[in-house]
Structures are given as structure tokens and as C-alpha cells.
Structure 1
Amino acid sequence: MNTQDKKTAVLPVARKLGIVGGLGSLAGGDLFFKLVKSRAVLADQGRYHFLFEQHPFKDVLLPLDRDASMTARKFYVFQVCQSFEAGGVDAVVLPCFASHTFRDEIQQELGIPVLDLMAALAEHIRRIAEPGTRLGILASDYVRHSGLFERYLGGDFQLVYPPEPDQRVLMDAMYGLNGIKDGYLQGVPLEGVYQACLALQARGANLIVPGLTELSLVCADLQRRGLSVLDINEIYAAAVTTADDEPTRAPFKLGIVGGVGPAATVDFMAKVVRHTPAGRDQEHIKMVVEQNPQIPDRTANLLFDEADPTLALYATCKRLESAGAQAIAIPCNTAHAFVERLQPYLRVPIVNMLSETVAAIARQHGSGKRIGLLATSGTVQSQVYHHAARHTGLSLLIPGFDYQELVMNAIYGERGIKAGFTDGLCKEQLLLAVEHLCELGAEVIILGCTELPLVLSHCDHFQVRGHSVALVDPTTVLATRCVSLAGLPA
């Protein structure tokens, strides 16, 4: 390679693998050893970074009998995987058959892949065995009765298990006092496993398949006795160091900056639910909400230079990021005056409710319509809707001074919406402002404060004192956009 080639050569991207330890300390250590000495790693030792993480797991010594509870194991595995994801690990190695009975549940909550031990085992068997081969399975009672092997191998192979007496011998050899999990790899425990293997051969098994990662610790001894036994740690190590990680995306999760205001947040969430085409609970969108009413008032800051809400908004968005949100919604029109300050410091996008609203108006009503804006004085003064409208060729009408005061009183007054009222004086004040904008020529009116749709609804033909006007609710627009971001037809 010449000097120029050396300058332009692209080094392979390092691959960081996190290994969940503690579910069987000796088997986990054996897997780590086999990963380090695997052909792929020895050929390119600079490419692979391994992070072995093991914490105290109180149920590790309990035998995996048929009715064993997986709750503590699930929580342990999830917590370790979650720390791997936060630490920038590319993929998780999970050397535990029992944990693969709930691998799909763990994967649903992560944005990095949990590499499938059973898929690696099944692929290896399909390479070396003919369809219909009788496979003898050595597994714990729990895994045996979970249907795990049937799901991965039952369609192509015949599966047999040891008779019950030999299964009890196997369980004792693994989990009993001075068993293989305790590090006793010779003598009575080894003979117990050997007896179970002979029982499988007597049932016609041509190949003995491990369903316990600890079997790798005695696999060589069994092979020397002439048994055709697979080494699961050898197989798993080869698979995870040669496979390219498929991009894994956790189910879409929407982060919501709540409390601005509190009732509007609940209203927005209801609209997301209402516009999601779901036939059952599990088809709805994940939402994580920080209901933070202590965020300083946006209008008070914009109009009177009171407390700045920028940091509180940013901190809330960062917590939503940390909770796994893939997009952030802020159901507050006035807060969008601060979005341009926040977005450069966030990894996930804030869905801009104002831009989405004016774009929706242009699509549905055309760019030639005259648009009225009902909003807080802070939103009006910040010109955020005006800027968004100019990008789509729309022009805005705003209420005259007296009518703008009516809008503010309808929102902030003693009998206003933020005080919990949605009828009576506040509604009459808003209807007067709507009529005023219609008289100015408005054909479409934006309900540009998230409290307003609690009183007036999204409507294409709203009648008010002889005028017909379309009312556009930005929170409805935002909700439908968030549904579409989740890959669902709104």
C-alpha cells in the first residue's frame, strides 16, 4: 500500500458488544473467553470492544424449575441492557436460555439489538443437520416447558427431551449442591449430564442440543466420550462476531412537554389517542409526559420580561430525551417562541406545531385564504405565527386592541380557561373576538392558544352571528402529525 493509499484507507468501525453477566457466572465467563479467542476477533483485535457487566442477582442460584418466576430476571436483564444502551453499546449479548424466553419483551423496550442466541443455534443446526433429524434437548425444566425450542426448531426437526427421571438427574447435576453451576465439572455432576445424554440417544437423538449455557463447561468432556454435543458458547460467540447488526428501532415514543398548561396537555394526549387508528391498547403510541406547571409563564416573559422559561423548557426536553422519546411535542403555542433556542441543543426533533398548522391550512384551504389568529398577546407579539405563515405564503389578521384584551381575559381572567372555566363569560368573549376577525375578512381562524380548543372546537364550518368560518385547532394538527411520525395513518 503506497502513502496515498494509507491516507485514504478507511478503518473499520469499532463494534462494541455488551455481555450480560451474572445469570450464570461461569458460563458467562466461558462465553467471554470464547468471544476473545474467536476467529473474527483474533483476525481484527482492534475492531471489537467487549463490555462485560455483572451485578449481584439474588435469584441466580435458584433452580429453573417449571414454575420459576422470571420477574427478577427480567428486571435484572433490562437494567443491564438499559445501561449498555446509555453507554453507547452497539448490541447486547445475552448468554442465558431462560432469558431468551422473554427476549422479545426486552427488545421492545430498547433501541439496540439483543443478539438472538436461539437464532444462532438454529442457524448452526440447519447447516449441519438434515430436516427431520431427531434432536435431543438438554434444558432446564422452565425452558423445556416454555416452548422456546419448539418455536425455533420444531418446524424442521423432531425434538425429544430426557424422560422425567433423567431430567431430574440433569437438574440436580446443574443446580444441586456441588453442581456444575457451582463449578464442579467432574464426578457426580458430569456423570448426571452424561446419563441424560444417553437417555436422549436411547430416544433416537442423533444430535444433542444444549438448552443450558453451563453445558459448554463440560461439552469437551462429553464429546471425548463420543457424544455428539454442541457447544452453545462457541456457536453464539461465532455468530455475534460475524453478523452485522441490523438497525433496531424501539417502538415510537412521543415525548410531551406538559403543564403549559395542564388541561391543554391532557386535551392534546386525548387527541393523539383519538386520531390513532388502533384496534387494541397495544397499537397506540407510547407517550412519556413531564407535567411541569412550574415552567415560567411564556407570555409574561415575552410581554413583561418576567422569568425566562428557556432553561426549564430545555431541562424538560432533555429528560424526555433521556426517557427515550424520538420526537417531542409542546402543546403550547407561546412556548414555540423559544423552540429555535432549544432545538440546536437537542438530539431529537421538536415537532413545530405552528409550522405544521400553517402548512395544513395551506393544503386544506389554499394559500389565498385570509387567516385570523386568536392567541395570547405573547404569541402575537413574538410573531412566531407570522414567521411560519410567511413560509407558506399566508398572511395573518390579528384582533384589534380591545378584542385582544377579550382573548387574554378569556384565557387568564378570573373566569377564564386557565382558571378551569370552559363556558359562560370566557366563551362569550371568544365568540366576540371570532366575530370581529370575520368582519375583518378572516375565512379561517387559528385557535392559537392550546386552551382555546377547550372552548371552541376544530371545525370547517363554524357559524357565529351570520358568519361562517373554519376554526383550526393546532393541537389537533400536532396530534395527527405525531401519529404519522409513528408510521400510522392519522
Structure 2
Amino acid sequence: MSLPVRRERSFGIIGGLSPIADADLLSKLIEATERHVDAGQFEIVFEQRPFTRSDGPSAANTARMLYIFNRIDSFKARGIGTVVLPCFLSHSFMEELKENSPLPIADMIEVLCNHVRTTFPRQRRIGVLTTAALRDSALFERYFRSEEFELLYARPRGGVDLVTEAVYGRDGIKSGSRSGYSIELLRDACADLIAQGAQLLLPGVTELALVANELAQVQVPLLDPHRVYAQHLVADPAAGIERPFKLGVVGGVGPAATVDFLDKVVRNTPAARDQDHLRLLVEQNPQIPDRTEHLVGDGMDPTLALYATCKKLQAGEADLIAIPCNTAHAFVEAIQSELDIPIMNMLTVTVKHIRELFPKLRKVGLLATDGTVSSGVYKRALEDHGLQEVVPSPPLQARVMNAIYGPRGVKAGFTTGPSVADVDAAIEELVAQGVEVIVLGCTELPLLLPEPERVTASGKQVTLVDPTDILARRCVSAAMLWSRR
């Protein structure tokens, strides 16, 4: 089955919050598309499910918010391009919706505000026909800023809020009435707003779009919010969604190294509060076959498992993938060509870091698994920057492998004792060959040697380069660039 493709000229209308008014918006959107030059090129999906209303404003808003998010999720699965939300009350939590929605939402009140600004440039005293609850929430003040507009509201009469009674009263619009007492109340509200100096009237309850024509015979312009909204949608569909950067992490290769990487991402992020940190999507999959066993033995090929994990991160809307495993990068080239998002190559950023930090360096030591060494991935990356790879002799390389995979090695949870001694012996040998900088080319090795400098038994100092930390820093830098786009 082919995956749905998002169509930019497709709309998903969230119905069910005010069924009669929602149908009015659907009708006006269809009318707008038929009058457009691209008539017939629009797809409209109207989705209305049972919506369980809860008692109390907070509970009701939570239920409404979750209902809307589930409808958006359904639209995403269908490949819909723009979410249409004809509900003023739901705009009280529009910021939360936009922050978490996987699709762009056409903000109805923002559309109305821009329409007033461009179509009625001289009208700055706006009379808002809305309920007491929406008025008290200061919803419209968020959009119609006080430095640009003056908002006016109908005053209660005899202790009765005219608009609330007209919409929700016993014979109100909500119950199906579009004439008689409810219209009289609304006309009185319009007259009161005009008496206060309103230059334009804006219906601010979804149901009022149903009676916009009945109210239009007043001394000042009165907007039909659904018609304005529909015409905007057809002429200018919602722009691409603005969302925070998300880093996808292929975890479990190995598990402790993944935790170390995440810790370094957090520590390298300039943040003053929780919300300043990166969004992370981690697919912790320790069942990915061992990379070294395949490269130097007859172990299962991990390529497909790595690719499948990356695809899950891509489906989860990650913008960049990090794989905190040096050996896994022997398979990155084959995987990258099949993905739509980039993998931050741990090896190339590490070598680039070394070249920038040590411009005159010629030799670089490498402590890594047999798989990484035999694959030549570091060797090629180093040679591309004019650097020579130096690796331990076979006996010392065996000790490095023991420090990683042995019964008391770091993969078994040991970060002190014999495993550290094995790595120190390999470092001593590399230093004896004139090496001054060594790459800890297995993500578990920084767990054994966390400090950036090491003094050997012979008294010589060597710089230890941690690719995990460099990868974390580069991912954070990518996130910062994303936020400044």
C-alpha cells in the first residue's frame, strides 16, 4: 500500500464542536472553491465524531483539545494539507494546538484580524459579538492588539448577557432558532455596540455565522466570519507548519553509550529552562545485530535493522538522525541514500573537529572495535583531511576488544579495573609511535576514559577525542541553526 501524499490544496474541517455551524462553514468553503480559478482542484474532508462534553471549563477545554488533536492526527494519515477549525472557543488554546500539531492549522481569528486590517484600514473600533465567557478570557485581545485596535463588547441588559442568551438560551441559535427572540437580542447587542462607537461588527461565536445575513442590515459593516475564513483558505492555504527542531536518535548500539550521548546533548544545549532543550525521539533498539560481528565474522547483517530504525525516526518527524555508534557508520552510506532526512555523520564531524583544532597534525591514533578498524571508515575520513590513521598492534587491539566486549568489559557494565588497564596499554603503544591525539572510536570508550587528557605511565600527555561529545555538539548546533531559519 502506498503512503498518502500531503496535498497542499486539501482541507480537513474539524466538525462536531458545533455541528450546525460547522456545516455552514463547509457550505461556504465549497462555494468559495467553486468560484476559484482552480475550481475542482480542492479536496475537502469533513470529519465529525461524537464529542463528549465534560462539566466545568477546564475539563471541557481538555476534552475539546484532545478531540481536536485526534481529528488532526486522522487528517495527517489521509495526507490532508491544511486543518480548518471553525470554533472560536478552541482558539483559546490555539497556541498549544499549533505547538503540537503535525499539520498546519489555519487560524480563523488571525484570518479575521488580517481581513479587518487590510479590507477596513480605517476601522479601528471593533464591536465584538461574543459570549461573556469568551469576552472574559480576553481571547480577542490576543489577536486585536490594543496598540492597533479598540475592542468593544455589548453591555448586559437587566443582568442578561445579550449574545450568550441569544446563542445558548432556551430559544437560542444553538437549539436551531434563527429568528424571533434570539435575533432581537443580537440586534439590540449590535445597536449597543454602535452606540459605543463601533465602526465594524465582528461576530465572535461560531453560531453567529448562521445569522450573519439577518444581522447585516445595520449602520456599520458586519463580517460573516465563515465566508471570510473560507475565501482566505481558498486564496491562501495555510503555510507550512512552524515547529521546533526534533533530533532522532538510533539508540541501543549500545544502550549505555546512548544514555551517554543523550546526557551530552543536554549538557551542551544552551538552555535557561526545560523548554529551551531539544526535542528528542529515541528508538532504543538493542536488538540491532552486532556491527563488529558482521564486519569481521559471520554475524547477521545489521543494515536492514539500522535502516528500519531510521525510518521510524523519519516517520516520527525527526529532522536529523544521530547514531551514537562508530561501527554503525560503516553502514551509513547505504542507508542515507534511501532516507529523506540526513544522518549526522559521527566520523566526518570528528575528523573535521580534529583538523580544525590541530591544523599541523599529521598522525591520529584510533582506538575502536575490530569492525570499525577493518571497515576503514575512519581511515578514509582521516585521509580525506590529510591525516594518517595509527592503530594498535594485533595484541594490543585484542586488549581493546576485551575492554569493550570482554566479561569485565564496558559493554558488560564495568567502567573500572582491567578494562581501563587494557585501553591504557594500547594508548601507551600509540604514544610510543609519536601519536599525540587519539580518537576514542567506540562510543563505550569515553565511559572508561571520560577526561579529554590522559597521562601515560611513561609520563607523556595525550589528547583523547570523544566522538560522542562532538556529535552531540554538532547536533545542538544544527538545532540552533534550524531555530534561526
TM-score (norm 1): 0.89
Q: Which residue of 2 aligns with 1:162?
A: 154
CA contact (8 A) 1:255 1:288 kept: yes
User: Equivalences for 1:129-278 in 2 at 5 Å?
Assistant: 129=120, 133-153=124-144, 154-165=146-157, 168-177=161-170, 179-224=172-217, 228-243=221-236, 245-278=238-271
1: distance between equivalents of 2:160 and 2:346?
62
Counterpart check, 1:394 vs 2:380: no
Deviation at 1:191, TM superposition (A): 3.4
Q: Which residue of 1 aligns with 2:294?
A: 301
CA contact (8 A) 1:367 1:392 kept: no
Aligned partner letter, 1:447: L
Q: Per the alignment, in what secondary structure is the counterpart of residue 95 of structure 1?
A: coil
1: distance between equivalents of 2:57 and 2:151?
18
The unaligned stretches of length 5 or more in structure 1 are 1-12
1: distance between equivalents of 2:448 and 2:46?
57
2: distance between equivalents of 1:409 and 1:489?
41
Q: Per the alignment, in what secondary structure is the counterpart of residue 289 of structure 2?
A: coil
Counterpart check, 1:329 vs 2:329: no
CA contact (8 A) 1:167 1:196 kept: no
The unaligned stretches of length 5 or more in structure 2 are 1-6
User: Equivalences for 1:346-425 in 2 at 5 Å?
Assistant: 346-366=339-359, 368-425=361-418
Aligned partner letter, 2:273: R
1:175 and 1:323, CA in 2 relative to 1: closer, same or farther beyond 3 A?
Answer: farther
Deviation at 1:371, TM superposition (A): 0.7
2: distance between equivalents of 1:41 and 1:173?
33
Which of 62, 82, 98 does residue 91 from structure 1 map onto? 82
RMSD of equivalent CA atoms:
2.6
Q: Which residue of 2 aligns with 1:464?
A: 456
Higher alpha-carbon deviation: 409-418 or 364-373: 364-373
Deviation at 1:367, TM superposition (A): 6.3
Which of 437, 442, 446 does residue 444 from structure 1 map onto? 437
1: distance between equivalents of 2:421 and 2:8?
65
Q: Per the alignment, in what secondary structure is the counterpart of residue 455 of structure 2?
A: strand
Aligned partner letter, 1:189: S
Higher alpha-carbon deviation: 44-53 or 249-258: 44-53
Q: Which residue of 2 aligns with 1:22?
A: 16
Count of matched residue positions in the alignment of Structure 1 and Structure 2: 474
CA contact (8 A) 2:33 2:40 kept: no
Deviations 1:222-265, CA, capped at 9 Å, x for gaps: 12466743110111112222226444331100011111111111
2: distance between equivalents of 1:389 and 1:178?
80
CA contact (8 A) 1:81 1:92 kept: yes
1: distance between equivalents of 2:188 and 2:167?
13
1:58 and 1:406, CA in 2 relative to 1: closer, same or farther beyond 3 A?
Answer: same
1: distance between equivalents of 2:315 and 2:171?
44
Higher alpha-carbon deviation: 429-438 or 188-197: 188-197
Higher alpha-carbon deviation: 365-374 or 284-293: 365-374
Deviation at 1:381, TM superposition (A): 1.5
TM-score (norm 2): 0.90
Higher alpha-carbon deviation: 444-453 or 45-54: 45-54
CA contact (8 A) 1:367 1:393 kept: no
Deviations 1:94-135, CA, capped at 9 Å, x for gaps: 211122222222222245432221222112222454657432
Higher alpha-carbon deviation: 78-87 or 141-150: 78-87
Q: Per the alignment, in what secondary structure is the counterpart of residue 345 of structure 1?
A: coil
2: distance between equivalents of 1:117 and 1:396?
60
Q: Which residue of 2 aligns with 1:34?
A: 28
2: distance between equivalents of 1:284 and 1:57?
35
Aligned partner letter, 2:16: G
